[in-house]
Amino acid sequence: MQVACEKCSVSYKIPDIHGGRMAKCKKCRHRFVLPIRDEKQLLDWASSCEWHRLFRFMTKGGAKGHTELIVDQLIRIYETRRWAEEDRVRLKNSEEKKVRKMEEKKNQQAREKRRIRNKMQRLSQLESLYSLTPTEFEIYVADIFRAKGYEAFAVGGGGDNGVDVEILTPDGKKKWAIAQCKRYAQDNTVGSGAVRNLVGSCGLAGVQKGFFFTTSSYTRQAVETASKFDWLTLYNGVELVKMAQKTVAATS
């Protein structure tokens, strides 16, 4: 085919096979799109070429010189492919967004895992737990369950109705258990009254499990009361530290 530079009008003879590509004038260095003169070839090319080539062809005036009928057909092909391309880009962006969210969640979980592991290692001795405030002790217990894969939150405070920690299923959709936490001195034991209060709190919360954690120990009456409920577990200070140590070992 014979083509002329749009800027300086220098003429060139170029094989038809290069139609649809970009050319550069040797004289003025102007870049222009090469036409496709054969109408059937043009429509077939527009239907199957890479999208960026068709986009460039249409926006650079490649359809000039053809009849109105061919231009209309070409525009229909172009619009159909443009819609498909926009859908493809939206889907790609949506998938990439999902992947980024999954990566962010994975990285967040890894950071949380390291934080809890470091905390458990730092507080690996019973004596170190006595330095915690009651609120910090509740958070410490919640962290143990988080390290085990549950969603757990310290919720203690005024009007907590005997619930210091709420433990949800791993997917975070259902409350699974509650815990009562007492950061007591070694000589300050937990009595049966506190255990009965936890039993009542579990009933009100409608959970499957109940846990009582203390840095001290329990009276004989408290242990006997707890033994009547197979879903209730007591942890004294020594047992709590062992639990934390096992959790650290399992997550290392």
14 CB-side CA count, 13 A: 21
- Give the C-alpha separation, 183 to 165, whole Å: 14
Give the model confidence (pLDDT) of 110-166 as tens digits.
Answer: 787 777 777 777 676 788 888 899 999 999 999 989 888 889 999 876 555 679 999
Supply the Cα-derived Rg of the chain in whole angstroms. Answer: 36
CA distance 32 to 25: 8
**Structure confidence at residue 177 (pLDDT):** 95
Contacts of 153 (CB under 8 A, 6+ apart): 142, 165, 166
Q: Burial of 226 by CB count in 10 Å (0-12 exposed, 13-18 middle, 19+ buried)?
A: buried
Q: Determine the 3-state secondary structure of 11 from DSSP.
A: strand
Q: Angle, to 10 degrees, between the axis of helix 237-251 and the axis of helix 68-122?
A: 140
Q: Where are the domains of the chain?
A: 1-34, 41-116, 123-251
User: CATH 3.40.190.10: does it fit domain 123-251?
Assistant: no
Q: What percent of the chain has pLDDT over 90?
A: 55
Chain mean pLDDT for the chain: 89
The per-residue pLDDT for range 23-41, each reduced to its tens digit, is 999 999 999 889 998 999 9
Nearest-CA neighbor of 251 among 75, 124, 118, 142?
A: 118
Other C-beta atoms closer than 10 Å to the C-beta of 52 total 9
* pLDDT band with cut points at 50, 70 and 90 for residue 171: confident
